[in-house]
């Protein structure tokens, strides 16, 4: 009877363990966010698209396999003993107790120490492998500024300024200086780069390079307020020719208003309430605290890379930004006429 009870308890424990493991495995496989661009795989460093992420993935798999082997051996021995040496009805005496098993103790102390030393060596090798390469003239410089809750990307050598969408040529080292406008953020593009804090008053540095053409999700990964989860960005890795074409377009002045309605919208943006925070090309590189509007419609999404950039969403945004993204800095009401005019001009800013 007692024996049955022991077995029942062991089985209960094992099934509990299996449920927890299943949960862990499944929770690691949640699909990409619903706003994810359609052609991107799950944004994990395990789908690397850069030399840095490839090194991180390699280290991860080596350690994972080592851990899996240890897990199977330890749990195997545990299960074997639980079932094979379970107390049987005819067992009346306590089994002989053993002391000073020096070989066994040396093995289960020594093997973990050796494994930790091995992981340390592998990790040092990875840190060396992902260190920034020596600077070259062809490197691209980008100034990254974290804002609540969007990302500003300035290209000082190209006189280009954009938001939430970082364009880089494939196989080119990108050197970034990172600053924060307000609170601590963290810059992370799992498939391309390491992760680095973006801190007010401190300029941090990070390099990255993409070796696969495509779009890759970035995400602020330091809690920075109510919309932290909606502080995203996209890195677009493209051919040198596509990048050059993008730069050429970004360097153009903003579109000229073509009719009275657009002219009214233009004036509200440049001289009215919008100009307190937003820049439009002709203002030059000012100290804008909100995304540059010069080529707004060349971007795919807005407000921290979360809403598709189209007329409908922009209208909703102008009508009530706080309903779309609570807590953001844009908090005033436009009249219906103002919305019409601003919208008419905004959608021409390709
Ligand atoms: Cu910025 Cu979280």
> CATH 2.60.40.420 region(s) of the chain?
33-91+132-249, 260-346
Q: Which has the minimum average pLDDT: 176-185, 188-197, 240-249, 267-276?
A: 267-276
For ligand 1, the distance from its centroid to the CA atom of residue 219, given in whole angstroms, is 8
Mean pLDDT over residues 257-265, rounded? 94
pLDDT, residue 302, reads 93
For residue range 278-311, list pLDDT tens digits in order: 988 855 455 678 999 999 999 999 999 999 999 9
pLDDT value at 32 more than 50: no
Judge if the beta carbon of residue 304 lies within 6 A of ligand 1. no
Choose among 231, 130, 217: nearest CA to 180. Answer: 231
Is-contact 200 270, C-beta < 8 A? no
Q: Which atom of ligand 1 is the closest one to the Cα of 184?
A: 1
For a pLDDT cut of 70, what percent of the chain falls above it?
A: 86
What pLDDT score does 29 carry?
35
State which ligand 1 atom lies nearest to the alpha carbon of 148.
1
Q: Hey, is 335 helix, strand or coil?
A: coil
Between 247 and 36, whose confidence is greater?
247
Alpha helices in the chain (DSSP H): 2-27, 51-84, 102-129, 240-251, 260-271, 311-319, 321-324, 336-346
What is the pLDDT, as a whole number, of residue 4? 52
Angle between helices 51-84 and 2-27 (to 10 degrees): 170
Q: Ligand 1 centroid to 234 CA: how many Å? A: 15
Ligand 1 atom with the smallest distance to the CA of 225 is 2
The verdict on the CB of residue 144 being under 6 Å from ligand 1 is: no
Q: How far is the CA of 150 from the centre of ligand 1 (A)?
A: 8
Ligand 1 atom closest to residue 221's alpha carbon, by position in its atom list: 2
Give the orientation angle of helix 336-346 with respect to helix 260-271, to 10 degrees: 100
Cross-strand pairs, 205: 177
For domain 260-346, the CATH architecture is Sandwich (2.60)
Q: For residue range 135-166, what is the model confidence (pLDDT) as tens digits?
A: 988 899 999 999 999 999 999 999 999 999 99
Average model confidence (pLDDT) for the chain?
Answer: 87
Statement: residue 231 has pLDDT above 90: yes
Distance 155 CA to ligand 1 centre (A): 22
3-state secondary structure of 222: coil
Mean pLDDT of the 25-43 span: 46
Q: What is the mean pLDDT of residues 169-181?
A: 96
Q: How many CB atoms lie within 10 A of CB 37?
A: 15
Degrees, nearest 5: CA angle 330-257-268: 30
Residue 209 burial by CB count (10 A; 0-12/13-18/19+): exposed, middle or buried?
Answer: buried
Axis-axis angle for helices 336-346, 311-319 (nearest 10): 140
Percent of the chain with pLDDT over 90: 70
- Residue 78, classified by CB atoms within 10 Å of its CB into exposed (0-12), middle (13-18) or buried (19+), is exposed
Give the pLDDT of residue 22. Answer: 46
Q: Using an 8 Å Cβ cutoff, are 154 and 142 in contact?
A: yes
Q: How many CB atoms lie within 10 A of CB 116?
A: 10
What's the pLDDT tens digit per position in 113-127? 999 999 999 999 999
Instruction: Give the Cα separation of 28 and 53 in Å (integer).
Output: 18
Residue 149 alpha carbon to ligand 1 centre in Å: 7
Q: Please list the residues that pair with 188 across neighbouring strands.
A: 195
- pLDDT for 219 beyond 90: yes
DSSP string of 107-166, one letter each residue: HHHHHHHHHHHHHHHHHHHHHHHTSPPPP-TTPEEEEEEEETTEEEEEETTTTEEEESEE
pLDDT for res 234: 95
Q: How confident is the model at residue 41 (pLDDT cuts 50, 70, 90)?
A: low
Q: How many residues comprise the chain? A: 350
Q: How far is CA 336 from the centre of its chain?
A: 37
CB 180: neighbour CB atoms within 10 A?
24
Q: What pLDDT does 44 receive? A: 85
Atom 1 of ligand 1, residue of closest alpha carbon:
185
What confidence score (pLDDT) does residue 10 get? 53
Mean pLDDT of 265-270: 91
Q: Is the pLDDT of residue 25 over 60?
A: no
Using DSSP, state whether 65 is helix, strand or coil: helix
Q: What is the pLDDT of residue 313?
A: 94
pLDDT higher than 80, residue 250 = yes
The average pLDDT across 236-246 equals 97
Q: What is the rounded average pLDDT of the residues 49-74?
A: 95
**Backbone dihedral angles phi then psi of residue 13, each to the nearest 5 degrees:** -65, -45
pTM for this prediction: 0.81
Q: Is the pLDDT of residue 13 over 90?
A: no
Q: Is 192 in the pocket of ligand 1 (CB under 6 A)?
A: no
Instruction: Answer yes or no: is pLDDT of 5 > 70.
Output: no
* pLDDT for res 30: 32
Q: Tell the CATH topology of 33-91+132-249.
A: Immunoglobulin-like (2.60.40)
Residue 228 beta carbon below 6 angstroms from any ligand 1 atom: yes
pLDDT score of 15 = 52
């Amino acid at each position: 009877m007692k024996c049955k009870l022991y077995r029942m308890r062991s089985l209960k424990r094992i099934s509990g363990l299996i449920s927890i493991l299943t949960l862990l495995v499944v929770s690691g496989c949640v699909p990409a966010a619903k706003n994810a661009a359609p052609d991107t795989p799950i944004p994990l460093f395990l789908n690397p698209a850069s030399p840095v992420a490839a090194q991180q993935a390699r280290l991860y798999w080596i350690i994972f396999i080592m851990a899996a082997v240890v897990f199977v051996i330890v749990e195997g021995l545990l299960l074997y003993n639980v079932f094979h040496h379970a107390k049987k009805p005819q067992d009346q005496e306590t089994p002989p107790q053993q002391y000073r098993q020096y070989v066994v103790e040396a093995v289960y102390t020594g093997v973990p120490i050796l494994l930790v030393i091995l992981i340390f060596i592998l990790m040092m090798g990875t840190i060396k492998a992902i260190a920034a390469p020596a600077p070259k003239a062809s490197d691209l410089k980008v100034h990254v500024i974290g804002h609540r809750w969007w990302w500003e990307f300035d290209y000082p050598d190209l006189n280009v300024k954009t938001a939430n969408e970082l364009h880089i040529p494939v196989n080119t080292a990108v050197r970034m200086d990172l600053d924060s406008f307000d609170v601590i953020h963290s810059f992370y593009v799992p498939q391309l780069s390491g992760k680095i804090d973006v801190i007010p008053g401190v300029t941090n540095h990070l390099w990255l390079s993409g070796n696969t053409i495509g779009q890759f999700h970035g995400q602020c990964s330091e809690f920075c307020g109510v919309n932290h989860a909606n502080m995203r960005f996209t890195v677009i890795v493209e051919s040198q020719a596509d990048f050059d074409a993008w730069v050429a377009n970004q360097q153009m002045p903003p579109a000229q208003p073509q009719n009275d309605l657009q002219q009214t919208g233009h004036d509200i943006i440049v001289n009215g309430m919008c100009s307190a925070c937003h820049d439009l090309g002709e203002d030059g590189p000012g100290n804008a605290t909100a995304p540059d509007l010069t080529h707004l419609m060349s971007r795919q999404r807005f407000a921290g890379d979360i809403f598709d950039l189209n007329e409908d969403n922009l209208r909703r945004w102008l009508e009530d930004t706080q309903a779309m993204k609570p807590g953001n800095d844009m908090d005033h009401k436009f009249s219906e006429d103002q919305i019409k005019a601003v919208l008419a001009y905004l959608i021409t800013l390709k």
